[in-house]
Amino acid sequence: MMDEKGKKSENTATIRLATEQDYGAVERIMKQVHRMHVGWRPDIYIDTDPILPYDRYLAHLAEEQVLVAELEGEVVGLLICLVRHICGGPVKEREVLFVDSMAVEEKYRGRGIGHKLFDTLLELCRERKYDGLELQVNARNAAARAMYEKYRFTEKSVNMEFSGL
């Protein structure tokens, strides 16, 4: 948003737990991001509807796993996180918060809404004393990678594929 002098003004989005009534907006935003993935990798991603089935959304709500960003009464961003209990084999037992999905409405990108979602998530992570915060990012999503790197995320592993079959 711009102020009267043309400078970028502070984002006034509020972050809250999602409700059942937010499903339409969440699905709309998820579709926008999914279209990017289909464009980058049509060999892997299919154009499907819905992206997030309603029953799965309700299951996320029951576990309080969905945050939404609301700006002037409109849902403009979302973050879905899952708790992963890691144990067994040669790894230390840990409780990790995993970002399953994060997206901001196309026309609101670049206004700090993703940062506000992430700041809220980091606060939640600290309050609940998780051992870590993890996510995956599409290798072609430079904007998302840049944001995560600003938060000091580092590569934990690299998935590679052989596509010459």
Coil, strand or helix at 153: coil
**What is the pLDDT at residue 10?**
53
**What is the pLDDT at residue 11?**
62
117 residue type, one letter:
L
- What's the rounded Cα separation, in Å, for the pair 151 and 101? 17
pTM: 0.88
pLDDT under 50: residue ranges of the chain: 1-9
**What is the pLDDT at residue 165?**
83
**What is the pLDDT at residue 5?**
42
**What is the pLDDT at residue 4?**
42
| Residue 37: closest CA among 95, 89, 103, 87 | 103
- What's the rounded Cα separation, in Å, for the pair 84 and 87? 10
**What is the pLDDT at residue 164?**
82
- What's the rounded Cα separation, in Å, for the pair 111 and 44? 30
**What is the pLDDT at residue 12?**
84
pLDDT one-digit tens code per residue, 9-42: 456 899 999 999 999 999 999 999 999 999 999 9
**What is the pLDDT at residue 75?**
98
